Amino acid sequence: MDLSIQQLAQLSGTTSRTLRHYGDIGLLAPSRIASNGYRHYDQGALMRLQRILLLRELGLGLPAIASVLAHETSPAAALRTHVTLLRAEQARLVRLIASVEKTIAAQEKGEEIMAENMFDGFDHTQHKEEVEQRWGKDAYARSDAWWRGMDAASQQAWKERLATLNGDWKAAASSGVATDSQVSSELARRHVAWLDSIPGTPASTP
Amino acid sequence: MDLSIQQLAQLSGTTSRTLRHYGDIGLLAPSRIASNGYRHYDQGALMRLQRILLLRELGLGLPAIASVLAHETSPAAALRTHVTLLRAEQARLVRLIASVEKTIAAQEKGEEIMAENMFDGFDHTQHKEEVEQRWGKDAYARSDAWWRGMDAASQQAWKERLATLNGDWKAAASSGVATDSQVSSELARRHVAWLDSIPGTPASTP
DNA sequence: CTTGACATTGACGTTGCGTCAACCTTTAAC
DNA sequence: GTTAAAGGTTGACGCAACGTCAATGTCAAG
């Protein structure tokens, strides 16, 4: 098994440039360099490349990959750290998508989004420092992004839905409704339906 | 309203370097440059900056933002394209997270991961395409993302919290609890607290 | 022998700023 | 009046992981 750089590239689904790059930075050396300067790779190099590509898909940087492969000691810690970052990034993407979709929807309704919605944002910004000090940065950032992604009408609608739900729920509780399933399950349905309107909530969990 | 570069940076939550960069690339020119060379920004600049930052949050690149602001014609198409890319990226992240977690789990059990786990990733990819074709891309990405972004323990916790809440709520309703505030407001607090654990839910709505 | 496919090294381009560096202004304090 | 602390300016390099020429050498086939 003696592969040229192109052959290895095609086999592993990457490019020759990448392979030379890995060679340059000492991540994956060719197993042999012919007299004409051509790089050649053997089975061992291929396996190492597989691991490299796997770790790369897992999001590790090339230095990190080199480190892991160098001293094969617990990649677990690195991975654990990394999964945290991935989750954060993933959450951010979810918010981004919801926000973009909301923007598109508003656009399609012919609304001129930008105008006063900006001032909403502005108010929010000034509010921001206070909130951050009282509730912590993370909490603010997370909650703000979703809320801010909505236009005024949607925010109003959200508030109303929450108010209605809470109202019905209280009413049901205080009136001691017909003990069980009919009314309460109806409430539960609406409860779940409302949750579904929150970005990221899975529709099909139970 | 005449803002220095720092003042504008703080107001808008960005940095002076960013503002100078935007000036350099012609995205946001200072409204006035004093005789000493200092940049000054007015209300108009601030509004334009708000739009820039909004579009940036939506993930558009600076040239794209410039284009949108230049000929104010339908950002819808650009956004639509972008949301597609975002979804793809998001789906990829979800797979990444799952894969990393699988790797971690395997590691902790002392297994030598790399070998056949690579094929796991492969399987997963193939599975994904099937699912996407059968259920539609959107549905898959949206419903799956949040849920899958959690580890098993978190999913379990989420289920339990939901079950407990629903249980208490039903119990309260069926037992016709002391008509009002004490118990119901306590439930409401927990209700809200639970909602807060869902990514993106604003903590301080009322 | 020539053509075309594949190899080499070298070096600049990409994205959106962060981060010095070296220097000038304004403000507040002593 | 002097001085030190802030805050301003223009370059210019750095980063992550290669993509993409450019200029040139090598190999197999017609």
The number of C-beta contacts closer than 8 angstroms across A and B is 191
Q: What is the pLDDT of residues A1-55, one digit of tens each?
A: 899 999 999 888 899 999 999 999 999 999 999 999 999 999 889 888 888 887 8
Residues of B with CB below 8 A from A80's CB? 104
Confidence of residue B204 (pLDDT cuts 50, 70, 90): very low
Neighbours of A175 (CB within 10 A): 12
Check residue A111 and give its pLDDT. 59
Return mean pLDDT, chain B: 61
And the tokens for A24? 């340059």
For the sheet with B32-33, list strands across it: B3-4, B39-41, B32-33
Return mean pLDDT, chain A: 62
Confidence of residue B2 (pLDDT cuts 50, 70, 90): very high
Nearest to B202 among A54, A97, A146 (CB): A146
Helix (H, G, I), strand (E, B) or coil at B4: strand
pLDDT above 90 as % of chain B: 19
Q: In this structure, what are the phi and psi dihedrals at residue B126, rounded to the nearest 5 degrees?
A: -65, -40
Q: Is the CB of B58 under 7 A from strand C?
A: no
Q: How many residues can be counted in chain A?
A: 206
Query: Could you tell me which residue, B35 or B172, shows the higher pLDDT?
Result: B35
With 50 as the cut, is the pLDDT of residue B122 above it? no
Residues of B with CB below 8 A from A125's CB? 11-13
With 80 as the cut, is the pLDDT of residue A147 above it? no
- For residues B96-103, give the mean pLDDT: 76
Check residue A61 and give its pLDDT. 86
With 70 as the cut, is the pLDDT of residue A107 above it? yes
Confidence of residue A112 (pLDDT cuts 50, 70, 90): low
Confidence of residue B23 (pLDDT cuts 50, 70, 90): very high
Question: A90-99, A145-154, B110-119, B123-132 — which is least confidently predicted?
Answer: B123-132
* Contact by Cβ (8 Å): B113, B107: yes
Burial call A128-159: b when 16+ CB within 10 Å, e when fewer: beebeeeeeeebbebbbbbbbbbbeeebeebe
Question: A27-41, A188-202, B27-41, B100-114 — which is least confidently predicted?
Answer: A188-202
With 90 as the cut, is the pLDDT of residue B39 above it? yes
For the sheet with A32-33, list strands across it: A3-4, A39-41, A32-33
- For residues B108-126, give the mean pLDDT: 43
Check residue A8 and give its pLDDT. 92
Query: Could you tell me which residue, A38 or A127, shows the higher pLDDT?
Result: A38
Confidence of residue B130 (pLDDT cuts 50, 70, 90): very low
Q: Which of residues 3-32 of B touch strand D (CB under 7 A)?
A: 4-7, 16, 20, 30
And the tokens for B63? 């040239």
Nearest chain B residue to A48, by CA? B114
Helix (H, G, I), strand (E, B) or coil at B163: helix
Q: How many residues can be counted in chain B?
A: 206
Confidence of residue B68 (pLDDT cuts 50, 70, 90): confident
Whether A83 sits inside 8 A of B99 (CB atoms) is: no
Q: Mutate which of A52, A69, A80, A104 to test chain B, going by most B C-beta atoms within 10 A? A: A104
Check residue A186 and give its pLDDT. 39
Question: A53-62, A157-166, B144-153 — which is least confidently predicted?
Answer: B144-153
Confidence of residue A199 (pLDDT cuts 50, 70, 90): very low
With 90 as the cut, is the pLDDT of residue A114 above it? no
User: Which amino acid is it at B113?
Assistant: I
Check residue B4 and give its pLDDT. 95
Q: What is the pLDDT of residues A61-82, one digit of tens each?
A: 899 888 888 875 555 666 776 7
Q: How distant is C1' of C11 from CA of B53, in Å?
A: 35
Check residue A11 and give its pLDDT. 87
Residues of A with CB below 8 A from B100's CB? 58-59, 79, 82-83, 86
And the tokens for A48? 């190492």
